[in-house]
Amino acid sequence: MISTYHYKPHFYFTLVFVSTFLLWFAGAYLSFTPAGRDVYMVPLLGGLIAPFVIAVSLIFTSGNSALKKDALNRIFNPALIRVKMLPILVLLMPLAVLLSISISLFLGGSASQFKLAEGFSFSTGFVPVLLLLLLAATFEELGWRGYAFDSLQSRYTVFKATIIFSILWSLWHLPLMLVKDSYQYEILRQNVWYAVNFYLGIIPLGVIVSWICLKNSKSILAAILFHFIINIANEMFDITQMTKSIETGVLAIISVVIIVMDKKLFFSVAHLSERTVS
């Protein structure tokens, strides 16, 4: 967050939601048409990249050299990632998944969930699933961490900014449940509550990713790496949707523990007294 720049959160989020939703609704329609099956991923990728494009546009047309320099440093400087945070960054999500599977065993879940999955749980047209998982982690964090979170933090405490951010991030994914063969579409067909769980689960993840990013000097590289590990960890094992519901509870507990243990970070108002908010 740059104190000499007046962020425009309302403008940013309005542009992001309007542009993404238009593109994703178009992709959803095409995914159900015979002719569109070959091209529906094009507008979907456009919607995925939209937050990044809008963030870059706002940053590099701002006329604020400190904002531009900070953005480039956070994207390209690996030295921002703290060595002592690496174990948490790399292992937290896989361990959360394994813990969720273990808990599920006491509720009748199968031990076969510990086996590595034979394939991905959804399809993505002409784009390989693994590549899409990497693109999603990269462009979401470049946009949402590159501008969105800072714009909220310029007006609120980290705690309030994180909660607002996490809810908006969850809502941003809503149109994907209308895209044929997407992960969200598939779980909605199984059970509406599985879809509800997906969107609820994004909220504690938003808290954790925000914390990871802040604890690594706001490194966007750290956020991208952690986000990609989230995606891979949830596709690596052959876990059921019931276990993923347990996982949401596990992540919620982890996020609460993080907030309680790092209250100074989450509830400080020092950064608000250092700037005049437009």
pLDDT in tens, 75-89: 999 999 999 999 999
Amino acid found at 144:
W
d(CA 209, CA 204): 9
What pLDDT is attached to residue 278?
A: 36
**pLDDT < 50 positions in the chain:** 276-278
- CA 101, chain centre distance (Å): 22
Q: According to the model, what pLDDT value does residue 271 have?
A: 80
Residue 233, in any domain of the structure: yes
Tokens of 194: 């599985």
Query: Is the residue at 94 inside a domain?
Result: yes
Tell me what pLDDT residue 274 has.
59
CB neighbour list of residue 36: distance below 8 Å, 6 or more residues apart:
29, 30
Q: What one-letter code names the amino acid at 39?
A: V
**Does residue 278 sit within a domain?**
no
Which of 140, 141, 235, 247 is catalytic? The answer is 140
Domain that holds residue 212: 9-273
Strand, coil or helix: 157: coil
Q: Which pLDDT score, from 0 to 100, does residue 214 have?
A: 96
pTM of the model: 0.92
Q: Is position 214 within any domain?
A: yes
On whether residue 3 sits in a domain, the answer given is no
In the chain, the number of structural domains is 1
Quickly tell me which residue has 């939703």 as its tokens. Answer: 21
The CA distance from 109 to 240, in Å, is 8
What burial class does residue 23 get, using C-beta atoms within 10 Å of its C-beta: 0-12 exposed, 13-18 middle, 19+ buried? buried
**pLDDT score, position 273:** 65
Q: Which amino acid is at 219?
A: S
- Give phi and psi for 124, each to the nearest 5: -140, 40
Catalytic residue among 10, 118, 141, 173: 173
pLDDT of residue 39: 92
- Is 173 annotated in the active site? yes
> Which pLDDT value is given to residue 225?
97
Q: Is 4 helix (H, G, I), strand (E, B) or coil?
A: coil
User: Which pLDDT does position 128 carry in this prediction?
Assistant: 84
Query: Is 1 domain-assigned?
Result: no
The verdict on residue 2 lying in a domain is no
Q: Report the candidate in 142, 122, 127 with the shortest Cα–Cα distance to residue 45.
A: 127
Are the CB atoms for 171 and 163 separated by under 8 Å? Answer: no
231 occurs within a structural domain: yes
SS3 9: helix
